[in-house]
Amino acid sequence: MRGEGVAVAVLSLLLFFCLPVYATPASDFVALLNQTHTMRADIVQTMKNQHNSVTQVAYGKMALMRPYQFRWEILKPIPQLVIVNNQEIIVYDSDLAQVTMRTLHATALSGTLFLSASAADIEQSYIVTSLQEDAAHRVWFLLKPRHTNDATFSSIAVGFLRDELQAMRLEDHLGHVSVIELKHVQKNIALPRGLFAFKIPKQVDVIDERQ
Protein backbone atom coordinates (compact mmCIF):
# COMPACT_ATOMS: atom_id res chain seq x y z
CA MET A 1 0.00 0.00 0.00
CA ARG A 2 2.84 2.32 0.87
CA GLY A 3 4.40 1.67 -2.55
CA GLU A 4 1.12 2.48 -4.28
CA GLY A 5 0.89 5.76 -2.33
CA VAL A 6 4.41 6.75 -3.37
CA ALA A 7 3.61 5.89 -6.99
CA VAL A 8 0.46 8.00 -6.93
CA ALA A 9 2.38 10.91 -5.38
CA VAL A 10 5.12 10.68 -8.02
CA LEU A 11 2.54 10.48 -10.82
CA SER A 12 0.71 13.51 -9.44
CA LEU A 13 3.97 15.43 -9.28
CA LEU A 14 4.82 14.50 -12.88
CA LEU A 15 1.37 15.57 -14.05
CA PHE A 16 1.81 18.88 -12.23
CA PHE A 17 5.06 19.66 -14.00
CA CYS A 18 3.60 18.59 -17.34
CA LEU A 19 0.73 21.08 -17.11
CA PRO A 20 1.02 23.83 -19.74
CA VAL A 21 2.15 27.25 -18.53
CA TYR A 22 -0.24 29.79 -20.00
CA ALA A 23 1.04 33.25 -20.87
CA THR A 24 -0.70 36.24 -19.36
CA PRO A 25 -1.00 39.73 -20.87
CA ALA A 26 1.52 40.95 -18.29
CA SER A 27 4.05 38.25 -19.18
CA ASP A 28 3.51 38.83 -22.91
CA PHE A 29 4.04 42.57 -22.46
CA VAL A 30 7.15 42.17 -20.33
CA ALA A 31 8.56 39.62 -22.79
CA LEU A 32 8.17 42.11 -25.63
CA LEU A 33 9.68 44.93 -23.60
CA ASN A 34 12.57 42.72 -22.49
CA GLN A 35 13.61 42.27 -26.11
CA THR A 36 14.71 45.90 -26.04
CA HIS A 37 17.88 46.46 -24.03
CA THR A 38 18.67 49.84 -25.56
CA MET A 39 16.66 52.09 -27.84
CA ARG A 40 16.82 55.45 -29.55
CA ALA A 41 13.96 57.13 -31.45
CA ASP A 42 12.42 60.40 -32.55
CA ILE A 43 9.23 61.53 -30.78
CA VAL A 44 6.03 63.07 -32.11
CA GLN A 45 3.74 63.81 -29.15
CA THR A 46 0.18 65.05 -29.73
CA MET A 47 -1.70 66.41 -26.72
CA LYS A 48 -5.50 66.48 -26.70
CA ASN A 49 -7.99 67.88 -24.19
CA GLN A 50 -11.03 66.11 -22.77
CA HIS A 51 -13.00 67.15 -25.87
CA ASN A 52 -10.50 65.39 -28.15
CA SER A 53 -9.25 68.69 -29.57
CA VAL A 54 -5.51 68.96 -30.26
CA THR A 55 -3.88 71.46 -27.91
CA GLN A 56 -0.24 70.97 -28.84
CA VAL A 57 2.09 68.87 -30.99
CA ALA A 58 5.62 68.45 -29.66
CA TYR A 59 8.74 67.02 -31.29
CA GLY A 60 11.84 65.53 -29.72
CA LYS A 61 13.89 62.41 -29.19
CA MET A 62 14.36 59.70 -26.61
CA ALA A 63 16.85 57.04 -25.58
CA LEU A 64 16.87 54.27 -22.99
CA MET A 65 19.16 51.65 -21.57
CA ARG A 66 17.29 49.22 -19.36
CA PRO A 67 17.04 49.17 -16.47
CA TYR A 68 16.61 52.75 -15.30
CA GLN A 69 18.66 54.72 -17.79
CA PHE A 70 16.28 57.00 -19.68
CA ARG A 71 16.32 60.24 -21.64
CA TRP A 72 13.22 62.04 -22.93
CA GLU A 73 13.94 65.34 -24.68
CA ILE A 74 11.32 67.67 -26.16
CA LEU A 75 12.95 70.11 -28.57
CA LYS A 76 9.96 72.16 -29.71
CA PRO A 77 7.73 74.03 -29.19
CA ILE A 78 8.70 74.17 -25.47
CA PRO A 79 12.06 72.54 -24.67
CA GLN A 80 12.18 70.12 -21.76
CA LEU A 81 14.63 67.39 -20.80
CA VAL A 82 13.88 64.46 -18.50
CA ILE A 83 16.70 62.14 -17.44
CA VAL A 84 16.49 59.03 -15.29
CA ASN A 85 19.76 57.69 -13.94
CA ASN A 86 19.12 54.75 -11.63
CA GLN A 87 17.02 56.14 -8.76
CA GLU A 88 17.31 59.82 -9.66
CA ILE A 89 15.09 61.86 -11.98
CA ILE A 90 16.13 65.24 -13.33
CA VAL A 91 13.72 67.56 -15.15
CA TYR A 92 15.29 70.55 -16.90
CA ASP A 93 13.04 73.35 -18.18
CA SER A 94 15.41 75.60 -20.08
CA ASP A 95 12.84 78.31 -20.78
CA LEU A 96 12.22 78.62 -17.02
CA ALA A 97 15.93 78.21 -16.18
CA GLN A 98 14.84 75.56 -13.68
CA VAL A 99 16.05 72.09 -12.70
CA THR A 100 13.89 69.77 -10.59
CA MET A 101 15.42 66.70 -8.93
CA ARG A 102 13.30 63.81 -7.65
CA THR A 103 13.67 60.22 -6.55
CA LEU A 104 12.27 57.53 -8.84
CA HIS A 105 10.01 55.97 -6.23
CA ALA A 106 8.18 59.26 -5.73
CA THR A 107 6.90 59.10 -9.32
CA ALA A 108 5.49 55.55 -9.16
CA LEU A 109 6.76 54.91 -12.70
CA SER A 110 4.46 57.61 -14.04
CA GLY A 111 4.27 58.47 -17.72
CA THR A 112 6.86 56.95 -20.03
CA LEU A 113 9.26 56.11 -17.20
CA PHE A 114 8.01 52.52 -17.15
CA LEU A 115 9.89 51.90 -20.41
CA SER A 116 13.20 51.74 -18.58
CA ALA A 117 11.88 49.83 -15.55
CA SER A 118 12.61 46.25 -14.57
CA ALA A 119 10.03 43.54 -15.26
CA ALA A 120 9.33 43.09 -11.55
CA ASP A 121 8.66 46.80 -11.01
CA ILE A 122 6.33 46.97 -14.02
CA GLU A 123 4.22 44.05 -12.79
CA GLN A 124 4.20 45.52 -9.28
CA SER A 125 3.07 48.94 -10.53
CA TYR A 126 0.56 48.06 -13.26
CA ILE A 127 -2.31 45.74 -14.12
CA VAL A 128 -1.75 44.74 -17.76
CA THR A 129 -4.47 43.63 -20.19
CA SER A 130 -4.46 42.94 -23.92
CA LEU A 131 -6.24 45.15 -26.45
CA GLN A 132 -7.32 44.41 -30.01
CA GLU A 133 -4.82 44.68 -32.84
CA ASP A 134 -5.31 47.91 -34.79
CA ALA A 135 -5.60 48.52 -38.54
CA ALA A 136 -1.82 48.91 -38.77
CA HIS A 137 -1.42 45.40 -37.26
CA ARG A 138 0.05 46.77 -34.07
CA VAL A 139 -0.38 44.69 -30.91
CA TRP A 140 -1.63 46.79 -27.99
CA PHE A 141 -1.51 46.44 -24.22
CA LEU A 142 -3.32 48.53 -21.62
CA LEU A 143 -1.54 49.41 -18.37
CA LYS A 144 -3.57 50.63 -15.39
CA PRO A 145 -1.81 51.68 -12.18
CA ARG A 146 -2.34 49.47 -9.16
CA HIS A 147 -1.93 52.46 -6.82
CA THR A 148 -4.07 55.20 -8.34
CA ASN A 149 -3.23 57.74 -5.63
CA ASP A 150 0.41 57.83 -6.79
CA ALA A 151 -0.26 57.76 -10.54
CA THR A 152 -0.17 60.74 -12.88
CA PHE A 153 -2.03 58.83 -15.59
CA SER A 154 -5.19 56.74 -15.30
CA SER A 155 -4.15 54.47 -18.18
CA ILE A 156 -1.31 53.89 -20.65
CA ALA A 157 -1.79 51.99 -23.92
CA VAL A 158 1.37 50.64 -25.55
CA GLY A 159 1.57 49.46 -29.17
CA PHE A 160 4.12 47.11 -30.77
CA LEU A 161 4.67 46.21 -34.41
CA ARG A 162 6.77 43.12 -35.07
CA ASP A 163 8.20 43.23 -31.54
CA GLU A 164 9.15 46.90 -31.88
CA LEU A 165 7.69 49.61 -29.67
CA GLN A 166 5.94 52.12 -31.92
CA ALA A 167 3.25 54.08 -30.10
CA MET A 168 1.76 55.01 -26.74
CA ARG A 169 -1.43 56.67 -25.57
CA LEU A 170 -1.48 58.18 -22.08
CA GLU A 171 -4.66 59.47 -20.44
CA ASP A 172 -4.76 61.42 -17.19
CA HIS A 173 -7.54 61.59 -14.60
CA LEU A 174 -9.08 64.67 -16.24
CA GLY A 175 -9.45 63.03 -19.64
CA HIS A 176 -6.46 64.72 -21.27
CA VAL A 177 -4.71 62.42 -23.72
CA SER A 178 -1.14 62.34 -25.00
CA VAL A 179 -0.54 60.27 -28.14
CA ILE A 180 3.12 59.43 -28.77
CA GLU A 181 4.48 58.06 -32.04
CA LEU A 182 8.06 56.79 -32.16
CA LYS A 183 9.87 57.31 -35.47
CA HIS A 184 13.22 56.04 -36.79
CA VAL A 185 13.49 53.49 -33.97
CA GLN A 186 16.93 51.97 -33.39
CA LYS A 187 16.87 48.99 -31.06
CA ASN A 188 19.69 47.24 -29.17
CA ILE A 189 22.44 49.55 -30.35
CA ALA A 190 25.43 50.85 -28.42
CA LEU A 191 24.60 54.06 -26.57
CA PRO A 192 27.02 56.37 -24.75
CA ARG A 193 26.31 56.53 -21.01
CA GLY A 194 26.76 60.27 -21.23
CA LEU A 195 23.24 60.42 -22.67
CA PHE A 196 21.93 59.66 -19.18
CA ALA A 197 24.12 62.13 -17.30
CA PHE A 198 23.29 65.75 -16.61
CA LYS A 199 25.42 68.68 -15.58
CA ILE A 200 23.40 71.46 -13.99
CA PRO A 201 23.88 74.69 -15.95
CA LYS A 202 24.95 77.86 -14.20
CA GLN A 203 22.40 80.45 -13.14
CA VAL A 204 19.41 78.13 -12.93
CA ASP A 205 17.05 77.52 -10.02
CA VAL A 206 17.42 74.05 -8.51
CA ILE A 207 14.41 72.48 -6.82
CA ASP A 208 15.52 69.39 -4.88
CA GLU A 209 12.55 67.16 -4.03
CA ARG A 210 14.62 64.09 -3.22
CA GLN A 211 13.86 62.45 0.10
Query: pLDDT digit string (tens) for 6-45?
Result: 444 433 333 333 444 446 888 888 888 888 999 999 999 9
pTM: 0.80
Task: Report which of 29, 24, 33, 27 is spatially closest to residue 164, judged by C-alpha positions.
Answer: 33
Bridge partners of 179, per DSSP, are 46, 169
Q: Which CATH number is associated with domain 23-208?
A: 2.50.20.10
Tell me what pLDDT residue 147 has.
77
d(CA 157, CA 170): 6
Q: How far is the C-alpha of 70 from the C-alpha of 56, rounded, in Å?
A: 24
pLDDT in tens, 174-189: 899 999 999 999 999 9
Distances (CA, A) of 147 to 83, 144, 154, 170: 24, 9, 10, 16
